[in-house]
Amino acid sequence: MVYSVAVKRALRLALLGLAALLLVSVAGGSLAALWLWSRLPQISGTLALPGLERPVEVIRDAWGVPHIYAESLTDLVFAQGFVTAQDRPWQMDLLRRAAAGRLAEVLGPEALAWDRLARTVGFERVARASLDRQEPETRRVLEAYARGVNAALALTPRALEFLLLSYRPEPWEPLHTLALGRVLAWELSQWHPRLVLAKILPRLDPRRREDLVPIYPADGPLIVAAPPGVPSALGLLGPGGGSNSWAVGPERSASGAPLLANDPHLPLGAPSRWYEVHLVGAGLDVYGFSIPGAPGVIIGANAELAWGFTNLMLDDLDLYRERLHPEREDLYEVAGRWEPLTRLAERIEVRGREPETLEVRIGRHGPLITPTLIQAGEPLALRWTGHDPGQEVAAILGMNRARAWPEFREALRRFATPAQSVVYADRSGTIAYQAMGRVPVRPRGGTLAPLEGWHGRDDWRGWVPFDHLPGVVNPPAGVLVTANNRVSADPGLYISHLWEPPDRAARIRELLEAKAKLTLDDLRAIQLDRRPPWVRRLVPLILEAWKDAEGSGKVAGGLDLLKAWDGALEPASPVAALFEAPVEELLAQTFRDELGEEEYREFGRAWDLAGVALDRLLARGTSPWFDDVTTPEREDLPELLRRSLRAALRTLEARLGPDPASWRWERLHTVALEHPLGRRRPLGLLFSLGPYGMGGDPRTVWKSHFYHDGRFRATVAPSFRMLVDLGGRGRSRVVLTTGQSGHPLSRHYR
């Protein structure tokens, strides 16, 4: 979930008592079960609700998805707020508490780390500043949605989580919708790898430092070509979570109508972070996925068009080194003058102990994040695109209403953050791509190192105009592919250094080009593909390293398996395990000796910094990183590859047994859909789902990302999959990771 690892730890103390409470609750057997079932919301019959202008009809289908029919927009979003709060009341409350920095109120002291972060970054401060700037229609929509949520909270028995934690939800406000939007934008931002690099890079020598700064391969696939003529007056200098989305034009579609696929890759949990809904009325007929707590459909399709999102991977923040007055910490230097910092005293309520007061200091670049987010030798300020108010709700409503590409694209102008790559298709035969969101104009292009904040030369100069962001309509190839890969090679437009490796985009293109005419079944097979191109690069290196070296019988057997392997990381594959385990060993043996245990652990958890750096080193073949600095010898890549295979074979034998034929990748690579209250038994038996074995890895189209810690537990995977044939709605398909409901005893929970 978005409220960080700190919240997971916070549950340890609270759940000891909660587990005992649950055991007592269920001891009554069938009576307890009946009591729990009685607390499920009413989802059939007639309800008289104050606040509706006209009757509204809600039809729940076999999967519990609400189809809402209303005559006015405010009634439509009122009903959306109502049904969402019926199904996901505690999830919504937890999200808004995460946004406000109020988790410790209900989860206890160990949630303080997240609350301090939320108060420092200021998600709710931004939301307050944004609220008064919303357009009149947006305000009416936000207020109607909040009224619907509150009607459900008043009518529906408190969800089990509220009872276990002994509190009642507060009324929902429009402010909460805007604030949780900023939390979700933060989750998709580059804050974690940027902070890790800010900590690691300063203590490395220049050569090693350069190797850790991500550079997109020159031959990696792009989404669009360089756009013509970005004005130099903009000052654009220097080099230009993840998801998959692609569109197929009518000339490449077996049905004769465009096809669209999307599968956003996000941390998984129970319930899903997405809520499926169908909204009909007031000029809308839109089906797709919403965020619990926000009106409208974020990703989906209406009667004329469909769209999908992938993360643009925008470098959306900078860290600025600030000079504080040597005698007064409330003053900082701005262009040779001392100016006052804004100082806020944030009172954080903490369950089970006295409140804490956190001082937040804010300058012209943003809040000082030291030492709350990072320990550094000097004060660092955070400049983030999410600190500026936006019109995301208006943008979503405009996208939901649109009937053609010009109207849809115009709606994207209002969307500020998180920056996204949008793939589009419509019934007229148009397919298109557009980058959307605020892209900073940086005077010297992008750098991952902290900047000097006192002189102003590196301050952002505004935003890249929307019309200068990359976009393309009806490309000659008849397909568009985005997979968090580099968008454009335009040297005048800096978007990011932190692109995903090109493997997923390259593999999707390879599979799309394999057939002249494509069907939804073909697109489904592509979404499930588990053959990453990097296997073809790495396996030959492993085999070459052993060509003239002596190994044991186990090593020889392992090499024979790799030689005969088709490169598919299927769940039941023994060779998939034999491939992934040496890669993890190679990463550790390459970087851990220089970085140390703690910093290597952070490095291995930050985006895929380690994997991207290793890719570059493997392509070069030589690097000082390959030398083990703890030994007097000078190691090279072949030596590390041999060491890694030997160590991996020992690990696999210890974890999976002595017979390689019985090894299965899914026994190592698992995913658990954990509920925040389900991380400790016995609550996990009720709330959480899994663990389940799975295939793939961070580079497969079927992405299943894991930290580089040797455990192979999936942390990010497809949060839903959507396939749309614009020839007719009945031909489209969607699948969500969990059920619609957030109530564990509902038949729609799993």
CATH at 375: 3.60.20.10
Q: Are 594 and 629 in contact (CB under 8 A)?
A: yes
Please, what sign has the CA dihedral across residues 98, 103, 107, 113? positive
Token pair of 475, please?
């490309």
Token pair of 24, please?
């007592």
d(CA 591, CA 282): 57
Edge-to-edge order in the sheet of strand 353-363: 342-350, 353-363, 366-367
DSSP 232: G
Plot region of 288 (φ>0 → left; ψ -120 to 50 → alpha; else → beta): left
Please indicate, yes or no, whether residues 506 and 612 belong to a single structural domain of this protein: no
Burial label for 589, CB within 10 Å (0-12, 13-18, 19+), is buried
Q: Are 672 and 689 in contact (CB under 8 A)?
A: yes
Plot region of 636 (φ>0 → left; ψ -120 to 50 → alpha; else → beta): beta
The predicted pLDDT at position 30 comes to 57
Q: Are 86 and 43 in contact (CB under 8 A)?
A: yes
Whether residue 28 is contained in a domain is answered as: yes
Q: How far is CA 666 from CA 293, 487, 582, 674, 697, in A?
A: 35, 33, 16, 18, 11
Whether residue 366 is contained in a domain is answered as: yes
Token pair of 586, please?
């190679």
Please indicate, yes or no, whether residues 557 and 440 belong to a single structural domain of this protein: no
- Residue 533 contacts by C-beta under 8 Å, 6 or more apart in sequence? 503, 506, 507, 510, 699
User: Which domain covers residue 551, as residue numbers?
Assistant: 533-566+574-663
Token pair of 33, please?
């079960």
Q: Of 722, 303, 223, 245, whose CA–CA distance to 473 is shortest?
A: 223
- Residue 45 contacts by C-beta under 8 Å, 6 or more apart in sequence? none
Domain final residue, candidates 620, 644, 663: 663
Omega of the bond leading into 292 within 30 degrees of 0 (cis): no
Q: Of 511, 417, 479, 393, whose CA–CA distance to 77 is shortest?
A: 393
CA angle 655–659–661, rounded 5-degree value: 105
Q: Are 301 and 307 in contact (CB under 8 A)?
A: yes
The predicted pLDDT at position 375 comes to 80
d(CA 557, CA 549): 14
Please indicate, yes or no, whether residues 740 and 609 belong to a single structural domain of this protein: no
Q: Are 256 and 274 in contact (CB under 8 A)?
A: no
Angle between helices 174-187 and 136-155 (to 10 degrees): 100
Please indicate, yes or no, whether residues 500 and 547 belong to a single structural domain of this protein: no
Q: Are 312 and 415 in contact (CB under 8 A)?
A: no
Whether residue 691 is contained in a domain is answered as: no
Q: Tell me which residue has tokens 């250094």.
A: 497
Please indicate, yes or no, whether residues 519 and 582 belong to a single structural domain of this protein: no
Q: Are strands 451-452 and 317-321 parallel, antiparallel or unpaired?
A: parallel
Whether residue 368 is contained in a domain is answered as: yes
Please indicate, yes or no, whether residues 522 and 555 belong to a single structural domain of this protein: no
Burial label for 19, CB within 10 Å (0-12, 13-18, 19+), is middle
Please indicate, yes or no, whether residues 495 and 556 belong to a single structural domain of this protein: no
3-state SS class at 328: coil
Omega of the bond leading into 682 within 30 degrees of 0 (cis): yes
The predicted pLDDT at position 216 comes to 57
The predicted pLDDT at position 24 comes to 45
The predicted pLDDT at position 36 comes to 66
3-state SS class at 1: coil
Q: Of 238, 230, 178, whose CA–CA distance to 466 is shortest?
A: 230
- Looking from the CA of 33 toward its CB, the CA atoms found within 13 Å total 5
d(CA 483, CA 96): 30
Q: Are 465 and 450 in contact (CB under 8 A)?
A: no
Token pair of 156, please?
């529906």
Q: Of 331, 330, 326, 362, whose CA–CA distance to 346 is shortest?
A: 362
613 phi, psi to nearest 5 deg: -65, -40
Whether residue 212 is contained in a domain is answered as: no
Token pair of 296, please?
């409208």
Whether residue 146 is contained in a domain is answered as: yes
Domain count within the chain: 2
CA angle 358–379–598, rounded 5-degree value: 85
Burial label for 54, CB within 10 Å (0-12, 13-18, 19+), is exposed
Edge-to-edge order in the sheet of strand 380-384: 380-384, 317-321, 451-452
Q: Of 268, 738, 259, 267, whose CA–CA distance to 526 is shortest?
A: 259
The predicted pLDDT at position 8 comes to 41
d(CA 681, CA 668): 22
Domain final residue, candidates 645, 663, 681: 663
Q: What is the CA radius of gyration of the chain?
A: 26
CA 61 to chain centre: 29
The predicted pLDDT at position 719 comes to 97
The predicted pLDDT at position 588 comes to 97
Q: Of 59, 38, 56, whose CA–CA distance to 47 is shortest?
A: 56
Please indicate, yes or no, whether residues 307 and 413 belong to a single structural domain of this protein: yes
Please indicate, yes or no, whether residues 583 and 486 belong to a single structural domain of this protein: no
Mean pLDDT by 10 residues, the chain (750 residues): 38 42 48 66 88 96 97 98 98 98 94 96 97 97 99 95 95 98 95 91 90 70 44 26 92 98 96 98 97 98 98 97 95 97 98 97 97 85 97 98 98 98 98 98 90 96 97 97 93 92 96 97 98 96 86 86 96 97 97 96 93 94 95 95 95 95 96 88 88 97 96 96 91 93 92
Domain final residue, candidates 638, 663, 688: 663
d(CA 366, CA 380): 9
Type of residue at 69:
Y
CB atoms closer than 10 angstroms to residue 698: 25
d(CA 202, CA 469): 33
d(CA 523, CA 606): 30
Q: Of 377, 398, 198, whose CA–CA distance to 297 is shortest?
A: 398
Please indicate, yes or no, whether residues 611 and 626 belong to a single structural domain of this protein: yes
Please indicate, yes or no, whether residues 88 and 19 belong to a single structural domain of this protein: yes
Question: Per this entry, what is the length of the chain?
Answer: 750
d(CA 287, CA 295): 13
- Strands (E) in 249-403, as ranges, are 259-267, 275-281, 284-290, 299-302, 305-311, 317-321, 331-334, 337-340, 342-350, 353-363, 366-367, 380-384
Q: Tell me which residue has tokens 């979700």.
A: 184
Whether residue 709 is contained in a domain is answered as: no
Token pair of 716, please?
């990010």
CA 455 to chain centre: 35
Strand partners, 245: 262, 482
CA angle 445–494–244, rounded 5-degree value: 150
Please indicate, yes or no, whether residues 583 and 501 belong to a single structural domain of this protein: no
Whether residue 720 is contained in a domain is answered as: no
Strand partners, 368: 381
